[in-house]
């Protein structure tokens, strides 16, 4: 019975067969060309047959080498498929967040996360209630709190909460002359946004805003021309680009709150750490663009 060759030698031969070059194989493997050549010689010595033909300026496979390379290719393909299946069966990360932040900020970015980190799955649930990570089986949660007061010692800061008013083009045209007749739209979760923005922009307003269960509903109401919505500019980026909504005159208000990612206390696993680092990087990139 033949001794099974070392995996690194088999992989080196597979890469040489795929690239047709010791130099190219060395670049793929991240080793020197002599190191690749030694692995091939050791493999041939162990198998007791020649796998490659070495010429002055070229390298080819012997007949046995071609058959062996084809079977090795099938084997490595099976290993790759098994690895991908294993990743797909992994327990997904469970993230709890506010509805609008999840729908309009996180989910549009998740495809990029999966592309750069294949094998990672993320399940998103939504709620405005405080979350107990351990009791509810949630890996991490996103919520708002003052920027100088993280909700827990394990929380990591994401982006600041900034808001501004938006309306359809037709309502925006009448904002200055008829704004007293227009309905202000907002979210019950962020009831202070309109009063703070009006005060910041020195606008007096007597009527109370119409508040919905989520900012998502308020945005939809604005699209239906029920009034003027206040929200984070990033939430309506697609509608602004499509011309469905426009920004109204006035300063963008930084509310003093930030979004925070709350993680379990103590050591966290590698998958959650990877996701947390990615999320912080995404938030920092957006903040830099809007600074």
- Report the C-alpha gap between 216 and 212 in whole angstroms: 9
Q: Choose among 94, 92, 153, 149: nearest CA to 117.
A: 92
Q: Residue ranges of the chain with pLDDT lower than 50?
A: none
Please report the pLDDT score of residue 267 as a whole number. 78
Cα torsion through 268, 128, 247, 206, rounded to 10: -150
Please report the pLDDT score of residue 57 as a whole number. 59
Sign of the dihedral through C-alpha 78, 83, 84, 89: positive
Q: What is the pLDDT of residues 19-50, one digit of tens each?
A: 888 888 888 888 888 888 888 888 888 888 88
Domain ranges of the chain: 7-88, 92-291
Q: Choose among 250, 256, 254: nearest CA to 203.
A: 250
Please report the pLDDT score of residue 40 as a whole number. 86
Q: Choose among 107, 102, 91: nearest CA to 139.
A: 91
Please report the pLDDT score of residue 4 as a whole number. 79
Q: What is the pLDDT of residues 86-108, one digit of tens each?
A: 555 567 889 999 889 999 999 98
Please report the pLDDT score of residue 184 as a whole number. 94
Burial letters for 42-74: b for 16+ Cβ neighbours within 10 Å, e otherwise? ebbeebeeebbeeeeeebebeeebeebbeebee
For domain 7-88, which architecture applies?
Orthogonal Bundle (1.10)
Topology of domain 92-291, CATH? D-Maltodextrin-Binding Protein; domain 2 (3.40.190)
Do 92-291 and 7-88 have the same topology in CATH?
no
- Report the C-alpha gap between 225 and 170 in whole angstroms: 9
């Amino acid at each position: 019975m033949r001794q099974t060759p070392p995996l690194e030698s088999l992989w080196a031969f597979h890469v040489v067969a795929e690239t047709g070059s010791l130099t190219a194989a060395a670049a793929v493997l991240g080793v020197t060309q002599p190191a690749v050549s030694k692995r091939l010689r050791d493999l041939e010595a162990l198998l007791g047959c020649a796998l490659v033909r070495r010429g002055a300026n070229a390298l080819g496979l012997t007949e046995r080498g071609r058959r062996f390379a084809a079977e090795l290719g099938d084997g490595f393909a099976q290993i790759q498929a098994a690895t991908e299946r294993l990743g797909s069966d992994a327990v997904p990360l469970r993230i709890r967040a506010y509805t609008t932040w999840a729908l309009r900020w996180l989910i549009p970015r998740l495809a990029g996360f999966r592309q750069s980190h294949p094998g990672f799955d993320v399940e998103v649930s939504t709620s405005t209630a405080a979350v107990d990570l351990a009791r509810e089986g949630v890996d991490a949660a996103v919520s708002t709190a003052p920027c100088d007061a993280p909700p827990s010692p394990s929380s990591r800061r994401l982006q600041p909460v900034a808001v501004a008013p938006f309306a359809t083009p037709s309502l925006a045209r009448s904002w200055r002359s008829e704004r007293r007749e227009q309905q202000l739209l907002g979210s019950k979760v962020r009831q202070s946004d309109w009063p703070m923005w009006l005060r910041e922009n020195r606008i007096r307003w007597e009527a109370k805003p119409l508040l919905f269960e989520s900012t998502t509903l308020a945005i939809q109401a604005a699209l239906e021309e029920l009034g003027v919505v206040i929200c984070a500019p990033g939430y309506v980026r697609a509608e602004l680009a499509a011309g469905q909504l426009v920004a109204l005159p006035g300063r963008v208000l930084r509310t003093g709150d930030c979004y925070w990612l709350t993680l379990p206390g103590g050591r966290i696993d590698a998958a959650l750490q990877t996701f947390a680092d990615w999320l912080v990087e995404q938030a920092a990139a957006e903040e830099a663009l809007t600074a």
